[in-house]
Chain A
Amino acid sequence: MYQYNVDIELVEELEAKAVKIRKDLLNFIYRIGMGHLGGELSIVEIAVALYYKYMNYDPKNPKWEERDRLVLSKGHCSETFYTVYQDLGMYTMDYMVEHFESLDTYKFGMHSNRLKVPAIEVSAGSLGHGLPIAVGMALGARMQKKNWRTFVLTGDGELNEGTNWEAFMAGGHHQLGNLVALIDKNGLQMTGHTRDTLTIDPLDKKLKAFNWDVVSIDGNDMYAVCEALQNLPPADPVSRRKPVAIILNTVKGKGVDFMEDVATWHGGGIAKEQLEEALVSVEKNRRVR
């Protein structure tokens, strides 16, 4: 019999949560009329695994000093995070809809603003900013001898931006073992496949050459995500070790059959009929172990 390294009940619990988050997200995008569903659906597993299990985090106190930091670099996918926040009890869905890009009362936007939403660590939108900022955060944690960890979630198309590579170099140079890069490698960017736009592979070899430890997993498989996060080395501030990059091989639009791996679902809203079809699809794709 296969020996599971991760508590399978936990995995099932998180999988059920991911289904709920996908449905809530679709409803949210339907109500606000805009989003980046493709990339927002591909990061559901990692967002759920982090917020519900693997990050030291207190939703009642999002500015708790000892919390792990999660920098969302692909800022256009903020709605996944907002959806998680409402599920964690920070906001109601109605409140988020009411305060979505609502001029002077706005709190939530297509791109997140940390001064409006305390759970957001860094205001983002322009790509290629999260990794350098995360490097600074990890250096700061080490300088102040803090045990918390910095996670940064980037896209793969986003890695076209050169600042990421400056930051990969710095992270490797400083041996920031308290830094984890999560790369949502869904293989698509705005107009097509990353491989046709600007070749990124071999990504694992590139990151290893930049002195990072690299783990490559199915980023939409909750078990694999949990295992990768569970296996992270401790984030103690003294040891010098390589930072970790987890390549999350994902599917853009994951969970909704007609959105999966379709570049045109990068951005936009969703019609009522599409919403209904999408919700059925998410349920149909629920994993039964």
Chain B
Amino acid sequence: MPVQTTFDFDAMLSSAKEAYGEVLLELADEGREFVFTYTDNVAPSTTAGALVKKYPERCFNFGIAEANQVGASCGLALSTGLPVFSQVFGPFLSLRSADQIHTDIAYNHVNVRLIGTHSGVTAGGGPTHNTIADLALYRAIPDLTICVPADADQCKKFIRASMDYQGPMIIRIDRGGSPNVYADPDYSFEIGKAIEVADGKDVTIISCGSFLYWSLMAVKLLKEKGVSARLVDMHTVKPLDLAAIDKSAKVTGAIVTVEEASINGGLGSAVAERLAETSYGGKFKRIALPDEFLVLGHLEEVYEYYGISPEGIAKQTAELLGK
């Protein structure tokens, strides 16, 4: 059953980046044990900063040394037997610590939850600070669960669920300030199980992360154009909910993927692989960031430039349908 969503951009402005700190603080207050490691960018004024202040004995600042931080997080998980949450600035987590994610975290199969912030282009600052190669990279690492929460509430759900989850995880969140997609946070949630956000018959949009909200806006715009769009929240990019893709292929004759990542190797590629291998004969389009070093500008302008604003998503989807 589709879940209740909010269409009011300003009504439920939230931040997954704040949410992870908030929920970790809640968990600590509830007496749950875990370790928190972080890069030297957790401001004391944030919720994660409050966690560090209240529970200093379990929090470790690793400075600007991401590879060491990820490696040490493996050591902490091995020696304490506790889940380790490790916050790293997204582009440096994925690119600088790739070897450690692969070898220390995944190959050693430890319960480290790497929280990569500033996904996509949300950090601003140009290609050095873009986190867009990460999904392709993470997908090729065995044993790694890739979580891309759509909003703050979902981020909290992932973190709570991760307390009892075995194996390494990446939790990919944006800079913050994204609206909550789900009006009622009390929906059924399971790692690895996609959520049908909106019903429709002409096309299915499969998205993840903060772009789920843009996709939801696009669904609304498409409706005005007379296009009935389904929306699926593929919050877990790996393991991928293949049944949800198969169902989408069956229910609508067109599928569009939307993500704030490189067009190469991310969610769109994962969906395409499934569709090709199941001989899907319908229409298909990947909407993502192009294979180039991206332009610099105000965030909304960048989205618009690459046609991934709500209007851009609606336009590209309508074009695919010939409308």
Contact = CB atoms under 8 A, between A and B. Distances in A.
Asked whether A and B interact, the reply is yes
Interface of A: 69, 71, 113-115, 121-126, 129, 131-141, 143-144, 146, 150, 162-163, 166-167, 169-170, 174
Interface string B69-81: 1111111111110
Contact of A170 (B57, B68, B70): B68
B1 to A, nearest CB: 40
A126 B67 CA distance: 13
A129 B100 contact: yes
22 contacts: A122-B75, A129-B100, A129-B104, A132-B68, A132-B74, A132-B75, A135-B68, A135-B71, A135-B72, A135-B75, A136-B71, A136-B73, A136-B78, A137-B76, A138-B75, A139-B72, A140-B75, A140-B80, A143-B57, A143-B58, A162-B67, A167-B68
B74 A136 contact: yes
A215 to B, nearest CB: 23
A133 B72 contact: yes
B108 A163 contact: no
Given A167-B72, A170-B62, A69 B103 contact: no
A123 B103 contact: yes
B109 interface: yes
Contact of B71 (A143, A167, A169): A167
Interface residues of B, number: 28
A122 B74 contact: yes
B187 to A, nearest CB: 36
Contacts of B60: 139, 174
Contact of A136 (B57, B76, B109): B76
Interface of B: 35, 57-58, 60, 62-63, 65, 67-80, 99-100, 103-104, 107-109
Given A133-B74, A137-B78, 11 more contacts: A122-B74, A122-B75, A126-B99, A134-B75, A135-B75, A136-B72, A136-B74, A140-B35, A143-B76, A162-B67, A163-B71
Nearest to A114: B108
B65 A143 contact: no
Contacts of A113: 107
B65 A129 contact: no
B102 to A, nearest CB: 8
Given A129-B100, A143-B58, A143-B80, A169 B75 contact: no
B284 to A, nearest CB: 37
A278 B71 CA distance: 38
B323 to A, nearest CB: 51
B280 to A, nearest CB: 33
A178 to B, nearest CB: 10
Contacts of A143: 35, 57-58, 76, 80
B35 A132 contact: no
Nearest to B73: A136
Contacts of B75: 71, 122, 132-140, 150
Contacts of B72: 132-133, 135-136, 139, 167, 170
B53 to A, nearest CB: 17
A71 B104 CA distance: 12
Contact of B76 (A123, A126, A140): A140
